[in-house]
Amino acid sequence: MREKLRQIPSVSSVLSDTRISELMTEFSAEAVTDLIREQLSHIRSTVDSESEIPTILEISNQVSDHVKRNWSHWPRTVINATGVVIHTNLGRAPLSTESMEAAVDSSKTYSDLELELGSGKRGSRQARISQLLSSLTGAEAGFVVNNNAAAIMLGLSALALGKEVIVSRSEAVEIGGGFRIPDVLKQSGAILTEVGTTNRTYVMDYERELNEDTGVILSIHSSNFKIIGFTATPSISDLSNLGTSKGIPVLHDVGSGSLLDTTKYGLAPEPRPQESIAAGADLCFFSGDKLLGGPQAGIVIGRKSYIEKLSNHPLARAFRIDKMNLAALTTTLIHYLKEEAQNKIPVWQMISAELDDLRTRAHNISTKIPSSDLYSAKVIGTKSTIGGGSLPGETMDSFGIQLTVKNPENFALKIRTATSPVVPRIEDDAVIFDLRTVLQSDDDTLIASIAYSLQN
């Protein structure tokens, strides 16, 4: 073994390799040297009498590969050809051009984030966004944190610490990524009280559980699942009437935050924040990066007195939204005030895309894919979904490219790891590129990536 260990190249010998020299001109020499030491240490710890000691070139390649994988800009942009509009694994909602520019502008220099320019005194980063949310939804005030889970925890901590929160059994669920409503309630310091059954809950079920220890009534929209058949759920209006009569605030989590009417696009109705407020909810919670089409954010709208309690709670600072997301969210909301959301916000561009346009694009792309006896490409009708925990079970007609290759999984891997990555889906042993979720400006890049992956 000692002889084997002596065969392992030294740090200095690896440093002399040309590829390492090139890395050290681009990155910190100290960091590259440390990486070499780590690699050599790994070799020493795993070597045995049967091991082949890697050469200097092989070690240099390993170090270079590590740098390429881990020291490059991330996350990488990809083309979403899955047909899932709000794809959580792909970053959910892409931003409008104007929202991206607003985020960049807020970061490249100083801004009046927390300064009143007129008075020269300290201001609030929430003031402008609160006014916008009020104008859009009719709520008395609004407040924004870094995501919706944080918004709900903040709301419960501020209004129901040590008190009971009444929730329907059908809503005490896990809604993705291990996010469980009972766990959030526990972490917020509130006490879960379940009422009704998994399929039928009535207002009288809530009323029977009200007592001096009740903090809030919480209603949660079933964003990513459906209970169908023999079911009953009280309306927010009914719960709000009950809460008002007993002096108990009603909190409503609508999930996706769709400000537009989804039925106009042939989809099932999705609860809208402005409808929640109109129905009497004291606070309404929703995400910024789902059907709203903005950056990651947790948005709370409702009665000013309750919003003030949230804003003054210690967790509000821990959950504070950053200036880039706040700038992007502000611009996203302005799109709605200008009634240009369908034309400006990518999520709504995709949802509202006309079938004839999708078919035309699919035919144009298919004619530019090189022909071969080894594979075939054709235009097909397909189905897209909203995703992101929105409108479960709902689909939209779409068009795409069906690529039949010898090994679909291998081809999907190639195109996912191409210079311009594309994420398709595999269906019926073929690779599908659904054009509803491909921005039209990416069509040429998609064509180039398909051609490259077919030829390599």
pLDDT digits (tens, 9 = 90+) for 327-364: 999 999 999 999 999 999 999 999 999 999 999 999 99
Contacts of 119 (CB under 8 A, 6+ apart): none
Label the pairing between strands 430-434 and 141-145.
unpaired
User: For residues 1-16, b (16+ Cβ closer than 10 Å) or e, as one string?
Assistant: eeeeeeebbeeeebbe
Contacts of 310 (CB under 8 A, 6+ apart): 143, 154, 155, 158, 159, 283, 300, 316
pLDDT digits (tens, 9 = 90+) for 15-39: 999 999 999 999 999 999 999 999 9
Of 288, 286, 258, 287, give the one whose Cα is nearest residue 270: 258
For residues 292 and 348, give the distance between their C-alpha atoms in angstroms, rounded to a whole number: 9
Two structure tokens written together for 122: 């300290």
Domains and their CATH numbers in the chain: 2-70 (no CATH), 79-88+349-455 (3.90.1150.180), 95-344 (3.40.640.10)
In the structure, what pLDDT confidence band is assigned to residue 390 with cuts at 50, 70 and 90? confident
Residue-level length of the chain: 456
pLDDT > 80? residue 7: yes
State the average pLDDT over residues 409-428.
96
Q: What is the pTM of this model?
A: 0.92
Q: Which helix (H) or strand (E) holds 218?
A: strand 214-220
In the structure, what pLDDT confidence band is assigned to residue 224 with cuts at 50, 70 and 90? low
Of 207, 196, 203, give the one whose Cα is nearest residue 171: 196
Is-contact 181 167, C-beta < 8 A?
Answer: yes
State the average pLDDT over residues 277-287.
97
Model pLDDT, residue 181: 73
pLDDT > 60? residue 6: yes
Two structure tokens written together for 197: 């059954």
